[in-house]
Chain A
Amino acid sequence: MTGLAFIARMAGRELKAAPRRMALLMGTIAVGVAALVAIRSFTDNLRSSVQQQARALLGADLSFSARQEPSRRVEALLDTLGRRAELARVTSFAGMAYVPRTSGARLVQVAAVAGRYPFYGEIATQPRAAWRDLQAGRHVIVDPTLLTALNARLGDTLVLGEARFAITGTIQSAPSEVGFRFAVGPRIYIAAQHLGATNLLGFGARVQYEIFAKLPSDVSAQQQADRYRKLLASERVRVRTVADDQRNLNEVLSKLAGYLGLLALMALLLSAVGVASAAVVFVRQRSESVAMLRCLGATAGQTFGIYLAEAAIMSLVGSAAGALIGVLLQRVLPALLQGLIPVEVTPTLSWPAIGLGVGMGVWVALIATLLPLLSVRSISPMQALRRPYQPIRTRRDAWWVGASVALAVSALLLSVYQVGSWRQGALFTAGVALTIAVLWITAVALTRLMRRRIPEQWPYVWKQGLANLYRPANQTATLILAVGFGAFLLGTLYLVQHNLLHQLRSTGGPARPNLVLFDIQPDQFSAIAREVSEAGLPLMGPTPIVPMRIRSVKGRPVSNLLSAGVGREGPPGAWALRREYRSTYRDSIVASERIVEGTWTRAAPAVPARISIEQELARDLDVTVGDEIVWDVQGVSLPSRVTSVREVDWARFEPNFFVVFAPGTLDRAPQTLVALTRIVDPGKRGAFQRQIAERFPNVSALDLSLLQEALERLVSRVALAVRFMALFSIGVGILVLVGALATSRFQRIREGALLRTLGATRSQIFTVVVAEYLALGLFASVVAILLAIAAGWALARFVFEGSFSLPAVPLAGLVFGVIALTVLVGLANSREVVRRTPLEVLREQ
């Protein structure tokens, strides 16, 4: 028999001998791998679904979109294209929909369709013929949520601006986008021929013009796009192909999956900690057997090999089981992320995901066990003759250093791979390492404290319980890590969600406006102000809004800048050059702003005009104080100079602006007004919106409470998915906890039996157990929550850039919950101590 065969045989026997403990360890790895495989499979399926459905998402081969009506040059170009391709147009804008029968009014996203849109995929409606008949009359097809919101039904009349439409159907499914583009209002579709009748596309309206093209099969969309892109860039027209859409969607979704994947990785790393600490105990327990094998002539390499092979088999079986669980669990993810993903995901087997999950599981578990297992090599055969007079020492040789470096590098590389960014991967690894380090230090501090500071006068049972924390072969560090890590994760997730929602809700605080009236023409304002004051409502504003575009930056025309760029998205900051700005003018800064550079100018009219610019925009446009920007205000050239740069808190639902002009220059420019009011009662808020919709059809009312609700739904949806992924880590934590307790189970049963022989009652033995786990749970959870507060604060402050609030009561609840769980698991594990007779236990050894 060769050395390898001997190693394999011995490893097999070892595995067979302690099936329950091995199953626990394999379970720990399995849960981590399951999380990874689930999220990876889901991402892969998502990617292939996006690939399959991308054309249906765009609805065409190619699309052109712009914020202004296509210029003559663009139309000429489309004409040329139209000779070979079929075109369809969709004009979208926001407007107030009003149903006279029920008096319901609501801000909606209108899409006016001309042509056979969509060319691919379909807009499924109820009844089915509704979409085909849309062009046949003044019909409107609405999102089902609008019917609920307006208490309307099919056949009702819906007023949009100055035109009346019959509701002929509801949308069942339609091409959509990621995120909350439609959070502002539900979608409705009308035929483009009736657009004029609504009279809503007047001055100041935010309109998106889209032209969709279906190309003959022999024409490449990408070639056409590349041909037109540069030309159209200077006309501020964006060109999109199916491939562009697919790429963008994949980027967004990969990011989401990447972050969720980090939680999976966290579960795997935690299981690695569990496996490593089990290996430490294992080596200690097996040291006599190892010494024996060495006496019988096994080499140090062979004995090390036996346990390494055992670890390898265990990791492989655990990972394979995990992959199977992951494949089953990935079916849950699409349901959890409903509303966040625009495609239908069909769960299929993703072999790359399975392979990667199993590979990562085996690798991480092996590397984690390698460190403790290395000390097997230094067990002397002498130990078989004499019990060791000193604990097994870890030899810090080249192997040890190599294994430590491999562990650190693996964790880092896996994180970077998972999240797709060096910086974020490194931050994540550092965060996890720091958390583990702090918990470890806590465990060491706790054992030291218990060794030195247990008061003599305390009752014996309490002293005995607490002493368990520092006695030889204690599991304190592992238990604190397992309990603490789970509590930390729960605490951090809770704090992030709490703060995000808190930030959203604080917007709805007392005296904050909750209804925005926009697109008010200046001559309508006094009438609206009267309505508001007659209703006894507060009125904030008006804030003037002047639409404008950039003509040139620092002397360089936008068309040059835009066509100078490389790649499909144009130059960096293309969005800033292309967009339509809705600027205002005023003489003071508002609460949500802060000057970070230059000074606020309230000077009288000047040429060039003085402007203050938002800092991110300044960066994208590459301008600073003193630079010149020339604006196109309704065809009129308006030179300006940057006099200050502002930081703007966009999270506040207030009229905030990229560019603010000093008063004097824009006062006479064509403008619309925005006004805000606050109506607490939802019923009255609805009634007021109806009143405005009836009397001023062009004025839109945005109910901030509804927007807030939509955002809260979104946050909760994401939080649900995040918590689902976090469950894996919690699961691993519990398994590690149970595993660590099971490791010392026999020792405890023996001690319990001895105590009972010496006259301890059952309740005294329970008190010993309770004292021990109470201390463990208390220390672990308090430190974990403190860590969670630090992490939650850092995330709220630096990632979500908001304020931080501390929900004391729920956190205290979490601490109590964790302590209770720890004590319960401890007690459950000690049942046998009192169930079996002392003699039965003592005779076993």
Chain B
Amino acid sequence: MPDAILHCHSLGRTYQSGGEDLTVLKDITFSIEPGEFLAILGPSGSGKTTLLSLLAGLDRPSAGSVTLDGQELNSLTEDQRARLRAEKVGFVFQSFQLIPTLTAQENVQVPLELRGESNSRIRARELLGWVGLAGREHHYPAQLSGGEQQRVAVARGFSSRPRVLFADEPTGNLDAATGATIIELMVTLNRDLGTTLVLVTHDLDLASKAHRTIRLADGRIIADSAAA
């Protein structure tokens, strides 16, 4: 599939646990088109987070391969993958994962600075404005509410104009109303910026907002709405 932004083929991941092999993912194959919004759905322990970390190049697969924007991840060293992440990938996490010692603006600046962009400050302020946090630039994460923290995380996730944004249960730590706002924000940004969005969740409501859903159970794909 030549146009795919992200493609995985026969992906598998096995962990060593107490001397035994524990297979978390097995034989996962699919592709994502640029600008697509994909939800990976499944119960706890189904392998969602493991799949996400393999797709984003945070972990190495035991079997199979991942190709991100034409780049085969297995062939890259850890530092090369880090550079690829800086160039092409964004993240939003369940537990926000803001750096507590940096202000909201500085947190948003980090990916831009890693890419070596010179106008990171202006861009960070702009993004914080978009997510409705103008005026809160110099607040530390501890001074923001959960919803506000996740908005900073979303701004950070989109700040470097990534080709793909990975979101791991982004509303898991938020109440329903705040969660809905965050998803709205992400969908808007997905549409306006053309960013490919890969969302991992066990929330059906949330998944319903995606263009496409892949269901996981016991480490395998049991349904793919695109194939249906």
Contacts and interface: CB of A to CB of B under 8 A. Distances in A.
B129 interface: no
Given A1-B113, A384-B97, A385-B58, A13 B106 contact: yes
Nearest to B93: A384
B99 interface: yes
A6 B118 CA distance: 11
Contacts, number: 89
A17 B49 CA distance: 31
B111 A297 contact: yes
A507 interface: no
B223 interface: no
B82 A299 contact: yes
A15 to B, nearest CB: 9
A380 B58 contact: yes
Contacts of A302: 114
Contacts of A326: none
B111 A289 contact: no
A300 B97 CA distance: 18
A286 to B, nearest CB: 8
25 contacts: A1-B118, A6-B116, A9-B113, A13-B106, A17-B101, A17-B140, A289-B100, A289-B101, A292-B97, A292-B99, A296-B91, A296-B111, A297-B82, A298-B86, A299-B82, A301-B79, A380-B59, A381-B82, A382-B53, A382-B59, A384-B58, A384-B91, A384-B93, A385-B52, A385-B168
Contacts of B111: 296-297
B133 interface: no
Q: Which 6 A/B pairs are nearest by Cβ-Cβ distance?
A: A297-B86, A17-B101, A297-B85, A299-B79, A289-B99, A381-B58
B119 to A, nearest CB: 10
Choose among A16, A294, A295 the residue with the greatest number of B CB atoms under 10 Å from its CB: A295
A386 interface: yes
Contact of B101 (A14, A297, A299, A844): A14
A778 B215 CA distance: 59
Nearest to A845: B142
B196 interface: no
B213 interface: no
A591 interface: no
Interface of A: 1-2, 6, 9-10, 13-14, 16-18, 288-289, 291-302, 380-382, 384-386, 844
B186 interface: no
Nearest to B156: A296
Contacts of A289: 99-101
A45 B140 CA distance: 50
Contacts of B214: none
A140 to B, nearest CB: 76
A9 B111 CA distance: 13
B89 interface: yes
A748 to B, nearest CB: 18
Nearest to A3: B116
B186 to A, nearest CB: 17
B58 A296 contact: no
Given A17-B101, A299-B79, A300-B78, A293 B91 contact: no
A301 B87 CA distance: 17
Contact of B116 (A2, A13, A384): A2
B164 interface: no
Contacts of B58: 294-295, 380-382, 384-385
Contact of A17 (B52, B93, B102, B168): B102
Contact of A298 (B82, B91, B120): B82
A295 B78 contact: no
Given A16-B101, A17-B140, 8 more contacts: A13-B106, A289-B101, A296-B156, A297-B86, A302-B114, A381-B82, A382-B58, A386-B49
B146 to A, nearest CB: 11
Contacts of B93: 384-385
Nearest to B110: A296
Given A381-B58, A385-B49, A297 B97 contact: no
B189 to A, nearest CB: 17
A590 to B, nearest CB: 74
Choose among A294, A300, A384, A385 the residue with the greatest number of B CB atoms under 10 Å from its CB: A385
Nearest to A297: B86
Contacts of B211: none
Interface in B106-151: 106, 110-111, 113-118, 120, 140, 142
A296 B85 contact: yes
Contacts of B113: 1, 6, 9-10
B94 to A, nearest CB: 8
B83 interface: yes
B84 interface: yes
B104 interface: no
A295 B91 contact: yes
B123 to A, nearest CB: 13
A55 to B, nearest CB: 61
A289 to B, nearest CB: 4
Nearest to B142: A844
B56 interface: yes
